[in-house]
Structure 1
Amino acid sequence: MTQLFFSDYDIEPADTRPPLVIFGAGGLGREVLLLIQQLNEAAQVSWQVRGFYDDQTPASPTVAGLPYLGSGADLNATAEALAVAVAVGSSTGRAAVVARLTSARLSFPSLVHPGVALHPRQRIALGAGCIIQQSCVLTCDITLGRFVLLNLGCTVGHDAELADFCSLMPHANVSGAARLGTGVYLGTNATVIQGVRVGDNTIVGAGAVAVRDLPADVTAVGMPARAI
């Protein structure tokens, strides 16, 4: 996986960035729209949000005041360069969407709330397509893979590694030197303590506390978290 330090994403002038669309016309899509509006207000970027794509047609032709533009197939067929924010909360669902969006005209910027501290001295590496929401705290020497989602108020400690398509729901906590495999999903208020490894595609339920390593492809709940 190719990774860039966060500071490498902030070198392109705003007026050269392509217009942006959001894939996912549900609640998370509207939250991501708010994140983009907050970025624009902070003058960090100047995204022109065109509207929403989703494979499920929404009940209304507009979402949060912006048009529904079509399905993933329609997005792949676009004739212009577009940045895409993939606003799908499920790790497996997000990975499936990204696998279908194959047009060379599409790019996937990382979107980080302007209130989240990401300074070069923190040595935080991001893959493409990450979304980091308001009130998240990341310390130092952290690696996030491609299309990692950190929802509201998450914390990630020193030397942690989150592989591609990890999803942290609000107020989930990853302690120092923890390792989350590809597609790991942490429910609201779930915690992974220092040095624990969580296998690929495992779900750690809301409020659960992983105090020892968890294998791949299980659902773990409770305190301490146990596979069910």
Structure 2
Amino acid sequence: MKKPLIIYGAGGLGREILTLVFLLPEWEVVGFLDDNVPKGSMIKNIPVLGGLEALDSMEKIPHIILAIADTKIKRKLANQLDTYQVQFPILIHPSVVLQEPATIKLGIGCVLCAGTILTNDISIGDHTLINLNTTIGHDSSIGNYSSVMCGVNIAGEVNACPLVYIGSGANVLNKVLLGEASTVGMGAVVLENVQPFKTVVGVPAKEI
């Protein structure tokens, strides 16, 4: 019997995660939550149940996954959902390659999308999104609530602190430290540490 799952976020990322869940035999999406989409709307034939307040009327809280790329909003929602004692699954697309699974730690609520490759001795934090066709090298860590977008290459021994956002097509070289809530722009090549709350863009990446 499949377990019921709610996706929090009815936008494009929510629809992408829905198609991921279709490939996982243990889960069935029973609805979306979204604070900005009218209750009763249908997304791919799945109803929007309302916003956060919809949980107040549920007798049993199903599992929830956050389909939110904005790292700060994601953290806020996760903290709010903790008051409901929500359980957060780990979703892994069938095409994901975990080269040495025993040495890879995945936090609650993290999502690994199609084409992702993780080598060995890697830590992925709670509620972290690793989007399509991303590679992560040995001894790297990605902190809680982070979002790594499509086609990113993260080399070995990279340390990304919580709330980091890495734009599509970026490259982060070996032993780089990405400070808390820092942002790496699309296509950037990061050769040096990035300070907390700062944004870097370009080749090589420079702070703006």
TM-score normalised according to structure 1 size: 0.86
Can you give the 5+ residue segments of structure 1 that lack an aligned partner in the other structure? 1-14
Q: Given the alignment of the two structures, is residue 202 of structure 1 paired with residue 187 of structure 2, yes or no?
A: no
Q: Given the alignment, which residue of 1, 4, 20 partners 1:35?
A: 20
Identity %: 35
Q: Given the alignment of the two structures, is residue 123 of structure 1 paired with residue 103 of structure 2, yes or no?
A: yes
Counterpart CA distance in 1 for 2:97 and 2:199 is 32
With over 3 angstroms needed to count, the CA separation of the structure-2 counterparts of 1:121 and 1:107, relative to structure 1, is closer
The total of aligned residue pairs comes to 208
With over 3 angstroms needed to count, the CA separation of the structure-2 counterparts of 1:191 and 1:168, relative to structure 1, is same
Q: Given the alignment of the two structures, is residue 80 of structure 1 paired with residue 60 of structure 2, yes or no?
A: yes
- Contact kept? 2:90, 2:110, Cα under 8 Å: yes
Q: CA RMSD in A?
A: 1.7
Q: Once the two structures are superposed, what CA deviation does each residue of 1:139-182 show, in whole Å capped at 9, x if it has no partner? A: 00100110110111111000001110111110011110000011
Q: Given the alignment of the two structures, is residue 213 of structure 1 paired with residue 198 of structure 2, yes or no?
A: no
Which structure carries more relative contact order (alpha carbon 8 Å, separation 6+)?
A: 1
With over 3 angstroms needed to count, the CA separation of the structure-2 counterparts of 1:58 and 1:226, relative to structure 1, is farther
Partner residue in 1 for 2:6? 21
- What is the CA distance between 1:90 and its match in structure 2? 1.2
- What is the CA distance between 1:104 and its match in structure 2? 4.0
Partner residue in 2 for 1:139? 119
- Contact kept? 1:175, 1:193, Cα under 8 Å: yes
- Give the letter for the 2:37 counterpart: T
- Contact kept? 1:54, 1:72, Cα under 8 Å: yes
Partner residue in 2 for 1:166? 146
Q: Given the alignment of the two structures, is residue 154 of structure 1 paired with residue 134 of structure 2, yes or no?
A: yes
Counterpart CA distance in 2 for 1:77 and 1:197 is 44
Counterpart CA distance in 2 for 1:139 and 1:58 is 42
- Give the letter for the 1:167 counterpart: S
**5 Å matches for 1:3-14?**
none
Partner residue in 1 for 2:157? 177
TM-score normalised according to structure 2 size: 0.94
